[in-house]
Structure 1
């Protein structure tokens, strides 16, 4: 998002930082037993804010997604971990619970996808889409993964949960998406 003067996770939307909206959804969802937020040297304000709210954080490099994922997974326990980006301001506990209900351990990895047409109708141009069964889909960022398999470096079978969930359609990656999220939330 470039130099906005405020770290991306701390951008206010509807009176709360965007990161708090994602954390709140996870904390409120049935089936989530622990919430840990990855922070880095790039997000010191976010780390202070979350720690002040009593939210557990883990410091990662912030340089490489997979490396950060491994760092976070190494401090967690349990067989499966749900990951959620901090820039999904519309996410709800209901969407989190629906995704958890759809996951089965034999899947190993489940990525929640959103109908690209819905994303476009909301005024967002997806930066990356995938075609599945002749239709375009956008990766939402919400996923469930086999924690031990990931840490062992095993290739995980990938399953896609195909949705039309508006709650997962907006990721705040540009100033225009930030303004869109603010207008939706009010």
Structure 2
């Protein structure tokens, strides 16, 4: 099976707003709802699992009230890597052959088309893991900051792994699209996103 794992348990301290980051509104719609809608429209994803933590109780409450065909999974929220390891252990106990597409709740512009493109590439690449990267020029063009780059590439927050908690042989896919650079970590990011909203959602 192909699962989408929507990561929504982080503290989101860089955004500096009085609400949990997954519930931060872009054009009056919570960030997490954009991501969830785009995942739900995928033709390849079988089920969505949303990882929350004690840092995001209002997000869990919002999701419970929202309803829908998804599962909520409680994680520690200690760090991204700690939660990732927990999630891989959780799925490995069920099967070591499932495909897990990880996506952060602060990526409202990653389209269903791009999600399915990444999954199709993964299924044909022959590797257990796939990371997607964005050229640093995309960030510079938008006036966005980034926390890490290597050889001119920035990780996008959209990755695919097999459901087994070991170091996995990885392929890399470079996607020069602005939608993968617009993760909403700061108020500057949100202002850029507001300006570009109508290009993606009309």
Q: Is the 8 A contact 1:22 1:88 kept in 2?
A: yes
Please say if 1:130 is aligned against 2:150.
yes
The Cα of 1:155 is off from its aligned counterpart by 1.7
CA distance in 1, matches of 2:87, 2:39: 16
CA distance in 1, matches of 2:101, 2:197: 25
List gaps (5 residues or longer) in structure 2: 1-13
Comparing 51-60 and 28-37, the one that deviates more: 51-60
Q: Which residue of 2 aligns with 1:185?
A: 197
The Cα of 1:123 is off from its aligned counterpart by 1.5
Q: Secondary structure at the match of 2:126?
A: helix
Q: Which residue of 1 aligns with 2:179?
A: 167
Q: Which residue of 2 aligns with 1:116?
A: 136
The Cα of 1:3 is off from its aligned counterpart by 3.8
CA distance in 2, matches of 1:56, 1:180: 31
Q: Is the 8 A contact 2:15 2:185 kept in 1?
A: no
Residue pairs, 1:32-71, within 5 angstroms: 32-54=45-67, 55-71=70-86
List gaps (5 residues or longer) in structure 1: none
Q: Is the 8 A contact 1:120 1:126 kept in 2?
A: no
Q: Which residue of 2 aligns with 1:176?
A: 188
Comparing 81-90 and 48-57, the one that deviates more: 48-57
Task: Tell me how large the CA RMSD over aligned residues is.
Answer: 1.6
Please say if 1:156 is aligned against 2:186.
no
CA distance in 1, matches of 2:173, 2:57: 34
Q: How many residues align?
A: 178
